[in-house]
Homo-oligomer: A and B are copies of this chain.
Amino acid sequence: MTPSPQTVRVGCYQLAPTIANPSYNLDRTRVAIAEAAERGAQLLVLPELAQSGYAFYDREEAHALSEPRDGPTLEAWARQAAKYQIIVVGGFCERLPDGQVANSSVLIEPDGRRTFYRKAHLWDRETQIFTPGSEPPPVVDTHLGRIGMMICYDLEFPEWVRLAALRGAQLLCAPVNWPDTSRPGFQRPAEVIRVQASASVNRLFVIACDRCGEERGVGWVGGSTLTDADGYVLKGGKRVGKKQLLLADIRLGQALDKQISDHNHVLADRRPALYHELLRD
């Protein structure tokens, strides 16, 4: 199973990390990467905090479960990336100095290069646990194309996705843990809708890798989604309460074309001189 030369096979693996069980999580993600690679994936996104689980009691527990950037989980992911020639994007609880922790993600290329990101917009109790990042979403020039990265609630800030697009991202990879809340059951979850809209207004592909598996009373949307650069769902986008590997063959080059009519270009049509109120505190 090899994608055609013009396409790349990308995907995400929705699975159930287990809080306070890093060795289980490490095994689980290693198996996931291997399975995706065997099915031809050249890039795989894992959920937010896939290394540690999500529902920490407090900062101390998060710190105890955190890993540095060269910890055992990322070392193992890097070995898989090299072995299978696959780009791995996944979330982990990053150990910082002085008892601090960050909700981080890493993009690991087959040649071993690692790019890191720390979640800048923190969700709910995360504000009590994590130190927020203060760097824009990275965009990495990989052998497949330019790949951007952010985490979960970051996606609810169109400003943030726009930054990734302005930096040239053709594919945005977002590890997420979408907590379940009440919503009209018959409509597509708003989390998915926001991903679709972000893809559409920026003409880039988006992969959001959600999780499953209730954890300390928290349930999840289970709505992992792959969209095309027009914002339409290629795979996923539905509530699925169990593990799922979603794969799609995409032409990343399509995301270089920002022209949507004879006279329109989604980025050039912006009018930044009129947007100054966006920077006001």
Contact = CB atoms under 8 A, between A and B. Distances in A.
A194 B232 CA distance: 11
Tier of interface size on chain A = 35 or more
Copies in the complex: 2
A27 to B, nearest CB: 32
Contacts of A278: 159, 162-163, 166, 272, 275, 278-279
Interface in A132-178: 134-136, 153, 156-159, 162-163, 166-167
A183 B279 CA distance: 35
Interface in A186-211: 187-188, 190, 193-194, 196-198, 200-201
A124 B198 CA distance: 21
Contacts of A183: 230, 232
A239 to B, nearest CB: 14
Given A157-B201, A201-B158, A230 B276 contact: no
A123 B262 CA distance: 9
A97 interface: no
Interface string A235-264: 000000000000000000000000001111
A228 B256 CA distance: 34
A167 B280 CA distance: 11
A264 B123 contact: yes
A277 B233 CA distance: 29
A272 B157 CA distance: 11
Nearest to A275: B159
Interface of A: 120-128, 134-136, 153, 156-159, 162-163, 166-167, 183-184, 187-188, 190, 193-194, 196-198, 200-201, 230-233, 261-264, 266, 269-281
5 contacts: A120-B274, A134-B271, A136-B277, A190-B231, A193-B200
